[in-house]
Structure 1
Amino acid sequence: MPNRFAGWSVVWVAFTVAAFAWGIGFYGPGVFLQTLHASKGWSIATISAAITTHFLVGAAIVVYLPEAHRAIGIARATMIGAVLTAAGIVAWSMTLSPWQLFGAAFISGGGWALTSGAAINAMIAPWFDRDRPMAISHAFNGASIGGVVFTPLLVSMIDGIGFPATALVVGLAMVIVVAPLAHRYLRQGPEDLGLAPDGQALDRARPRPESEARLPRAALMRTRAFVTVSTAFALALFAQVGLLSHLLSRLSPVLGTTAAAAAMSLTTISAVAGRLLLGWLIGDRDRRYAACANFLVQSIGVVLLCVTNSPLLLLVGCVLFGLGVGNVAAIPALIAQMEFRAVDVGTVVALVIATNQAVFALAPAALGAIRDASTNYTLSFAIAAVIEVAAAVTVLAGRQRRR
C-alpha cells in the first residue's frame, strides 16, 4: 500500500491553524464588541475602531509575510503567531479603559497576520498544484469551523466564567495545539522528502520555480489582473467583515444573544458547504465567474438581513450570506495560481490579502459609526449589499480571454 502523501497532513495542520486564527482573530472581535459594549458601556463606534486597528496592523505585517517565511520558516512564524494571538485575546479581556483596546489590537493583529489567509496559502502552495483548489478548500474550512465553534463557545464561556478567564483558557489552548503541530509538520517542504507538488516524483533536472527571478511588488501591482482581483475582494471583504463584526449585535435584539450566536454558527456552517462546493466543482473553470456568483449570492442574503426582522428570513439571510463567506478568503489564491507565475503567486496573494485587510479594517468602524448615527443597522447593511454587487462587477472586469 503506498504511503500517504504528506501534503494532506499539512492540509489538516493548516485547517487547525485556520480554525483558531479565524475563531479568535476574525469572528472573535464581533463577540468582543458585544461583550465590551454590554459590560462596560463603551460605544460601538469606539470598540469598532479598535477592531479596525486590529486588522490594519495585520495588513501591514502581511505585506512582508513571504520575507518572514523565507527568513525564519513557516513553522516558526506560525508558532509566533499563535503566541501573539493568545496574548492579544488576553489583552482585549483585561482592558480597563477604551484607549487600552488599541494596544491590545496591535498584539492580536500581529497574531492574525501570521496565522490567517496568506499564511494558510503559504502552507499549502508548495505541496499542491493540480489539487490545490481541493487542498485550499479543505484547509480554509478550518476558518468556517472556527466560526461555528468559537462564536457560541466564547459567548457561553464569557457568560459563565467571565471574559478574562475565557481569554486565558482559549489563548492557552491555541498555543498548546498549534505550536507542536507547526513544529512537527511545517518545517519541511515536499522537496525535502524527494517529492514534487501533488506527491509526484521530484524531477531534479527541472528548474524549480523558486530559481526564477521574482517580479518586484510594484510591477505586480500594476497589472490589470492584480488591480481587479485586489479591488473586488477588498470591496467584498469590506462588506463581509463589517457585517460579521456587527451581525451578533444586529441579531441579538430579535433572536436573543444565545440564538444570535447560534445563527452566527449557522452562517459559518453554510460557509463550509459553500467552500466544499467550490473545491468540488471549480476544476479548471473560470475562477472569476465563480467569484462573481459568490458575491451576488451574498448580496441577496445581506438584503434579507437588512430589510426584515422575521426570525426565519433572518436565518435564510445568514445562510445565503454564509455560503460565500469562506470562498472570499480562498478564491484570490486560486485566481492568482491561474493568472500569475508560480514564483510570484505567494507575493501576489500576500499583497492581495494585505490590500484587502487595509480596506476591510475600516469596515467595523465605518458600519459602527453609521449604525450609531442612524440608530439601527438598516442603512449599514444596505450599503454592504451594494458593495457586494460592485465587487461582482469588478472581478469580471479583469477577466481575460482564455485559450
Structure 2
Amino acid sequence: MQASFQGWRVVAGAFLLAVFAWGIGFYGPGIFIATLAENRGWRLGLLSAAVTWHFLVAAALVAGLPDWHRRWGIAAVTRAGALASAAGLLGWGFGHLPALLFAAATLTGMGWALTSGAAINAMLSPWFERRRPAALAMAFNGASAGGILMVPLWAWLIAGFGFGTATAVVAALLLAVVWPLAGRVLARVPAEYGQQPDGRVGAAPPAPPAAPARSRGALLRDPLFRALSLAFALGLFAQMGLVTHLISLLVPALGPRGAGLAMALVTVFALLGRTVTGWVLPAGRRRRWAAAATFAVQMAGSLALVSAGGSVPLLLAGCALFGLGVGNLLSLPPLIVQAEFPSAEVGRVVALMQAINQALYAFAPAAFGLLREAAGAEAALWVTLALQGVAGVLVLRRRG
C-alpha cells in the first residue's frame, strides 16, 4: 500500500522552521536594539551597525548554501544554522561589552543564512513542481507567523524574566523544535517514499541529461539574472526601509498602541496576499506580471501613506495595501526562477539572488533614517514609492 504524499508534511516542517528563522533572524534584531538601548544605554548607532553586520554576514554566506546542501545534506546544514542562531542569541543576551555584539551578530547572521528563504526553497523543490506556488506560500507564511507569534513572546519573556533569560529560552525552544525536525522531516526526498513531485504516482520518467549549472560569476553576467535580481533588490530595499520606520511614522496619528495594531495589520495582509497569490498564481512567464502587480499594489499603499495627512482610514488603507505585497516579495522570486532557469540552476540562482538582496537591504534602515533626518518623512515615502515603481518596470524586462 502506497504511503500518502509526504510533501505537505515537509511544507508544515518548513513552516515551523520559518517561524523560528524570522522570529529570530528578521524580527529579533529590532527587539534587540530597543532592549539593549533602553536597558544598557548603548548607542543606537552601534546597535544598528551590529544589526547591519548580521544581515551582511548572511548575505556573504547564503550564496554558498546549495553547495553545502550537496556536500553535507539539508539536515546537517539546517542543524548547524540552528546551533549558530542559538549561540548568537546567548551572545546578544549575555554579552556585556558592546564589542561582543558583533560576534553575536556573526553567529545569528550565519543562522539566518542557513535557515531562511533559500533554505526553505531547497527543502520544497524536490517535492513540488506544478504546485510549488501554493507550497512555498504556505511554508513562507511561517515568516508572517514568526512576527505574529514570536514578537509577543519576546516581549513577554523580556518583561517577565529579563533579556538574557529570554534569549536562553528562545534558543532552547529553537533547538528542541528544529533539531529533530531537520532530521525527520526536512531532509527527506520523494524517492525515499517511492513518490514523485506533486504526489504523482508511477515510475518517474528518465530525466534528460542536464547541462551543468553555471558558476555564480556566469550568472552575474547573465542579463536575465541581473534584471530580475535588481528588481527584487530594489523592491526589498524599499520594503525593509519602510517596515523599519513605519511604526514611528504612524505614532503621531495613531498613538503607540494604534501604530502597533497597524503593524499587525501589515502582517495579516502579508499572510493573506501570499496565500491568495500562491493558490491562483499562473504558470510560466506570467509570474512576472504577478510580481509587477505586487509592486503596483505596494505603490498604492505608499501613496496612501504619503497622502494621508493624519487621516486614520487612509493610513490603515496604506498599511493594508503595503502589507499585501510584503509576503509576495519573499515567495515570488524563487517561483519566477523555477519557471525561467534550468532546474539544475534553480537553487544556485535563488541563493545568489537572496545574497544580493540582503547585501542591499541591510543598509535600508540606516539609509531611510538619514533621509528622514535630512528631508523629512514625506520625502522618504516618495523615495519608497519611486523605488517600487522602478522595481515594477525592471521585473518585466527579460534583457539586461
Deviates more, 1:215-224 or 1:56-65: 215-224
* 8 Å CA contact retained: 1:147, 1:264: no
Partner in structure 1 of residue 207 of structure 2: 207
Deviations 1:381-400 (A, max 9, x none): 33222211111111112279
Partner in structure 1 of residue 261 of structure 2: 262
Q: 1:168 to 1:187 in 2, by over 3 A?
A: same
Partner in structure 2 of residue 355 of structure 1: 356
- The answer to whether the aligner puts 1:74 opposite 2:74 as a matched pair is yes
Partner-residue secondary structure (3-state), 2:176: helix
* 8 Å CA contact retained: 1:291, 1:392: yes
* 8 Å CA contact retained: 1:233, 1:328: yes
Q: 1:143 to 1:84 in 2, by over 3 A?
A: same
Q: 1:29 to 1:379 in 2, by over 3 A?
A: farther
Deviations 1:50-81 (A, max 9, x none): 22111110011101000111111111111121
Deviations 1:186-220 (A, max 9, x none): 232112222221122464660377x6422222222
Please give the residue correspondences for 1:243-262 in structure 2 after superposition, counting only pairs within 5 Å. Answer: 243-252=242-251, 254-262=253-261
Q: 1:157 to 1:313 in 2, by over 3 A?
A: farther
Give, in whole Å, the separation in 1 of the partners of 2:165 and 2:343: 45
* 8 Å CA contact retained: 2:3, 2:193: no
Partner in structure 1 of residue 165 of structure 2: 165
Give, in whole Å, the separation in 2 of the partners of 1:280 and 1:266: 21
* 8 Å CA contact retained: 2:78, 2:114: yes
Displacement of 1:372: 4.6
Q: 1:263 to 1:88 in 2, by over 3 A?
A: farther
Give, in whole Å, the separation in 2 of the partners of 1:255 and 1:159: 24
* 8 Å CA contact retained: 1:151, 1:265: no
Give, in whole Å, the separation in 1 of the partners of 2:32 and 2:81: 20
Q: 1:255 to 1:24 in 2, by over 3 A?
A: farther
* 8 Å CA contact retained: 2:227, 2:394: yes
- Amino acid of the residue matched to residue 244 of structure 2? S
Give, in whole Å, the separation in 2 of the partners of 1:41 and 1:161: 19
* 8 Å CA contact retained: 1:274, 1:326: yes
- The answer to whether the aligner puts 1:319 opposite 2:320 as a matched pair is yes
Displacement of 1:97: 4.8
Partner in structure 1 of residue 365 of structure 2: 364
Give, in whole Å, the separation in 2 of the partners of 1:67 and 1:310: 51
Displacement of 1:373: 4.7
* 8 Å CA contact retained: 1:225, 1:339: no
- The answer to whether the aligner puts 1:333 opposite 2:334 as a matched pair is yes
* 8 Å CA contact retained: 2:20, 2:146: yes
Please give the residue correspondences for 1:223-234 in structure 2 after superposition, counting only pairs within 5 Å. Answer: 223-234=222-233
Q: 1:110 to 1:395 in 2, by over 3 A?
A: same
* 8 Å CA contact retained: 1:34, 1:249: no
Displacement of 1:225: 1.9
Q: Percent identity?
A: 48
Give, in whole Å, the separation in 1 of the partners of 2:379 and 2:98: 26
Partner-residue secondary structure (3-state), 2:283: coil
Partner in structure 2 of residue 150 of structure 1: 150
- Amino acid of the residue matched to residue 366 of structure 2? A
Partner-residue secondary structure (3-state), 1:130: coil
Please give the residue correspondences for 1:57-136 in structure 2 after superposition, counting only pairs within 5 Å. Answer: 57-136=57-136
Partner-residue secondary structure (3-state), 2:358: helix
Partner in structure 2 of residue 190 of structure 1: 190
* 8 Å CA contact retained: 1:305, 1:317: yes
Deviates more, 1:261-270 or 1:224-233: 261-270
Give, in whole Å, the separation in 2 of the partners of 1:37 and 1:313: 32
Partner in structure 1 of residue 282 of structure 2: 283
Q: 1:199 to 1:214 in 2, by over 3 A?
A: same
* 8 Å CA contact retained: 2:283, 2:339: no
Displacement of 1:369: 3.1
Partner in structure 2 of residue 140 of structure 1: 140
Partner-residue secondary structure (3-state), 1:195: coil
Q: Name the count of aligned residue pairs.
A: 398
Q: 1:151 to 1:293 in 2, by over 3 A?
A: same
Displacement of 1:259: 4.1
Give, in whole Å, the separation in 1 of the partners of 2:377 and 2:302: 11
Give, in whole Å, the separation in 2 of the partners of 1:102 and 1:353: 22
Deviations 1:161-188 (A, max 9, x none): 3322222222221111111111111232
Displacement of 1:265: 2.3
* 8 Å CA contact retained: 1:82, 1:174: yes
Aligned-residue CA RMSD in angstroms?
2.4
Partner in structure 2 of residue 273 of structure 1: 272
Q: 1:92 to 1:284 in 2, by over 3 A?
A: same
Deviates more, 1:260-269 or 1:272-281: 260-269
Q: 1:383 to 1:160 in 2, by over 3 A?
A: farther
* Unaligned residue ranges in structure 1 (runs of 5+): none
Q: 1:161 to 1:334 in 2, by over 3 A?
A: same
Displacement of 1:325: 0.8
- Amino acid of the residue matched to residue 317 of structure 1? G
Q: 1:145 to 1:28 in 2, by over 3 A?
A: same
Displacement of 1:245: 2.6
Give, in whole Å, the separation in 1 of the partners of 2:236 and 2:197: 30
- Amino acid of the residue matched to residue 340 of structure 1? F
Deviates more, 1:323-332 or 1:261-270: 261-270
Partner in structure 2 of residue 21 of structure 1: 21
Partner-residue secondary structure (3-state), 2:395: helix
Give, in whole Å, the separation in 2 of the partners of 1:97 and 1:249: 28
Partner in structure 1 of residue 218 of structure 2: 219
Give, in whole Å, the separation in 2 of the partners of 1:194 and 1:93: 46
Partner-residue secondary structure (3-state), 2:29: helix
* Unaligned residue ranges in structure 2 (runs of 5+): none
Displacement of 1:244: 2.3
Displacement of 1:129: 0.6
* 8 Å CA contact retained: 1:298, 1:324: yes
Partner-residue secondary structure (3-state), 1:397: coil
